[in-house]
Structure 1
Amino acid sequence: AEAGQFDTQKHLPAWLGNDPKGRDYIIGSAGSLTLLTRDWKYIEPNKGNAYSAHTNTELGNNPEDQLYNITIDRGEYDNVAVENPLMVKFMKQILEEEKAKGTGLEL
């Protein structure tokens, strides 16, 4: 995005049912950045606490890459990053390219 412009895409055609494809991926942030595609979820490494005893909640933080095949593992129980190094590399590359674009906002 150019300076002063928001980093966004037009999605009205998808919302109206005129474009069934929608986005290729979504980036999320909840402590660690996450890249989500139709079939895969990549979570970049994070050195934060893995568990909160206060809320009895797993926080998703892990010092290693996390990759889940969400078509067969919707609960994200089986981290398949080690078995899929090319997919990890591909997902990391997309995430790095998007981070390099910035937000288009002055922070």
Structure 2
Amino acid sequence: MAPKAMKAMKAAGKVLSKGGLAEAIASETEMKKKEVTAILDSLASVASKQVKAAGKVTIPGLAMIKTRTKPATKAGKREMFGKVVVVKAKPAKTIVKAYCVAALKKNF
């Protein structure tokens, strides 16, 4: 049996695609859908450049995107669920995480 939160999410409806988002913004701002799509593409490219350069970018009222360095792991044997498993070494890597801003959290 699914938890109540899962049922509520399924009942919420379809997820808004890029085209749907562009259509909604265009109708609110009285702009053409093509212009809004260009703005969304521009936002994505500027945000990715900024994250790569500074490691952090905030889209006001929506989300904050950060990079974080995941440390390297050594090879060896580890016990998982009562069994000894041989684990390969992994190099350090940079991962990208997105967090919603406090203003968005207050709405729910």
Structure number with higher relative contact order (C-alpha < 8 Å, ≥ 6 residues apart): 1
Greater fraction of residues in strand: 2
Same fold by TM-score, threshold 0.5 exceeded? no
Taking structure 1 as the reference length, what is the TM-score of the superposition? 0.28
Taking structure 2 as the reference length, what is the TM-score of the superposition? 0.28
Bigger radius of gyration, 1 or 2? 2
Greater fraction of residues in helix: 2
